[in-house]
Amino acid sequence: MTYTNNAGVPVPHPGKVIQEKLLELNMSIKEFAARANKTEQFILDVLNGASAISPSMAIAIEYITGMNAGVLMKWQWQYDEWRAREEIFTKVAESGDYWLKKLPIAEMMNNGWLSPSVESSVQAEDLLRFFGVASPQAWENYYFHQKLKVAFRISIEQSIDPYALSAWLRRGEIQAQEQWLDDEYDAKLLKKRLPELALLLAYPQENVLESIKEFFSKSGVNVIYTEPLSSVPIKGATRWICGHPCIQLLNTTDSYDNYAYTVLHETGHIILHGKKDIFIEEAGFKSSDPAYVEKEREADAFARKWLSYRLLED
């Protein structure tokens, strides 16, 4: 069998190349099997691509034919890699078609999150890379079934559009990983500067989003702004990423008062709650965990307190 690499160049099983070498040497399969101390059936399986070449077999072939063992192993690795990719794409086509259809691929492409392509195989690979998962089933286990609670402790399955929400959250995670902060998180400094934050949010101002980001970065808090997705009425999210508390917000302030409230609400989560939690504001997300609900109430009270301070000082 032959597979192709990213450049569309065929990647043959090394057995095909060995066949050509045997013809060149005028060596029969029977003789080759005897020289390799293998059965003829084993040699036929290798030559026909039904069996992989092991390192010891590659060295034996080098002794017998003069072919380089390292080159043979490289061909075998390339063949195995692209065969594995084909198998993944086949599985996505067979069992993950619903995944491709439910994710907002067009919007993700328009936002530059995915490369523009109409081919489902390319879209599938881009999505696996984007989410950092090996399969649609792994994606579902992670976002719906909480198989990795230390990183994602809630299920978003019951939100308005869990597929789009997962994409928005993952985009924020990628942005946070790309945005390095020099300062470590300083909880005392953040608490001390809360009056300053309240005044900063008192009214819309030019470049307010950059001012918010700069304010938080001095306390070691990462603020990222993500493009909205039409089916996700989300306001923000908070979690720890790469050792820093991270606030993910929309990259637009259409309703500034609500935006300011969200910033204060997310700040409350950082100050009041632990590193292992993730909090999602709106998007139809509701948790059945009483502890989570209580933490949301505490963040609401925190936001109202500092919103009142903001209004009184203004």
Burial of 182 (0-12, 13-18, 19+ CB in 10 A): exposed
- As given in the structure block, the two tokens for residue 25 are 């040497």
pLDDT at 33 over 90: yes
Q: How far apart are CA 255 and CA 199, in angstroms?
A: 18
User: β-strands 2-4, 10-12: how paired?
Assistant: antiparallel
Q: How far apart are CA 250 and CA 274, in angstroms?
A: 23
Question: What are the C-alpha distances in Å from 7 to residues 81, 86, 131?
Answer: 14, 15, 24
Give the residue, 77 or 95, on which the prediction is more confident.
77
Q: How far apart are CA 124 and CA 188, in angstroms?
A: 45
- 124 near 133, Cβ under 8 Å? no
- As given in the structure block, the two tokens for residue 165 are 């929400």
Q: How far apart are CA 313 and CA 80, in angstroms?
A: 66
pLDDT at 16 over 70: yes
Give the residue, 300 or 309, on which the prediction is more confident.
300
Question: What pLDDT digit, counting tens, does each position of 230-268 carry?
Answer: 998 889 999 999 889 999 999 888 788 889 999 999 999
Beta strands in 203-273 (DSSP E): 222-226, 234-241, 244-250
Angle made by CA atoms 68, 69, 70, in degrees to the nearest 5: 95
Give the residue, 36 or 82, on which the prediction is more confident.
36
- 53 near 46, Cβ under 8 Å? yes
Q: How far apart are CA 125 and CA 78, in angstroms?
A: 17
Q: pLDDT confidence of 1, banded at 50, 70, 90? A: very low
What type of residue is 58?
Answer: A
Angle made by CA atoms 276, 280, 284, in degrees to the nearest 5: 140
Q: How far apart are CA 205 and CA 216, in angstroms?
A: 17
- 25 near 17, Cβ under 8 Å? no
The enclosing H or E element of 3 equals: strand 2-4
CA gyration radius, the chain: 28
Angle made by CA atoms 80, 86, 91, in degrees to the nearest 5: 125
pLDDT at 60 over 90: yes
Q: What is the pLDDT of residue 248?
A: 96
Q: How far apart are the first and last CA of the chain?
A: 73
| DSSP secondary structure code for residue 49 in this structure | T
pLDDT at 74 over 90: yes
pLDDT at 204 over 90: no
- Could you count the other beta carbons within 10 Å of the beta carbon of residue 296? 19
pLDDT at 277 over 60: yes
What type of residue is 122?
Answer: V
For 2-94, CATH gives 1.10.260.40
Extents of the domains making up the chain: 2-94, 165-313
Question: What pLDDT digit, counting tens, does each position of 125-164 carry?
Answer: 889 999 999 888 888 888 888 644 444 566 777 788 889 9
Q: What is the pLDDT of residue 180?
A: 84
3-state SS class at 107: helix
Q: Which residues contact 285 (CB under 8 A, 6 or more apart)?
A: 154, 156, 158, 159, 160, 165
pLDDT at 294 over 70: yes
| DSSP secondary structure code for residue 111 in this structure | T
- Could you count the other beta carbons within 10 Å of the beta carbon of residue 121? 15
